[in-house]
A = this chain, B = another copy of it.
Amino acid sequence: MEVGFLGLGIMGKAMSMNLLKNGFKVTVWNRTLSKCNELVAHGASIGKTPAEVINKCTITIAMLSDPAAALSVVLDKDGVLEQICGGKGYIDMSTVDPETSCKINEAITSKGGRFFEAPVSGSKQPAETGQLVILAAGDKALYEAAIPAFDILGKKSFFLGQVGNGAKMKLVVNMIMGSMMNAFSEGLTLADRSGLNPHDLLDVLDLGAIANPMFKGKGPAMLQNNYSPAFPLKHQQKDKRLALALGDENSVPMPVAAASNEAFKKARSMGLGDMDFSAVFETLKVLKHSS
Contact = CB atoms under 8 A, between A and B. Distances in A.
Contacts of A126: 209
A45 B149 CA distance: 66
B247 A265 contact: yes
Nearest to A256: B182
Contact of A210 (B168, B177, B254): B177
A186 B193 contact: no
Given A173-B208, A207-B155, A265 B251 contact: yes
Contacts of A165: 195-196
Main secondary structure of the interface of A (DSSP, over half): helix
A248 B123 CA distance: 24
A173 B225 contact: no
A173 B194 contact: no
A44 to B, nearest CB: 28
A200 B158 contact: yes
Contacts of A172: 187, 190-191, 194, 196, 201
Contacts of A197: 160
B173 A187 contact: yes
A289 B284 contact: no
Contacts of A287: 269-270, 287-290
A272 interface: yes
Interface residues of A, number: 85
Contacts of A217: 209
A175 B190 contact: yes
Interface string A206-233: 0111111110010000000100000000
Interface string A166-204: 001100110111011011101101110111110011011
Contacts of A193: 247, 250-252
A23 interface: no
9 contacts: A122-B208, A156-B207, A168-B196, A169-B196, A175-B190, A252-B265, A253-B266, A253-B269, A269-B287
Interface of A: 121-123, 126, 133, 135, 155-156, 158, 160, 165, 168-169, 172-173, 175-177, 179-180, 182-184, 186-187, 189-191, 193-197, 200-201, 203-205, 207-214, 217, 225, 241, 243, 246-263, 265-266, 268-272, 279, 282, 284-291
5 smallest CB-CB distances across A and B, nearest first, come from: A179-B183, A225-B291, A259-B259, A212-B212, A253-B266
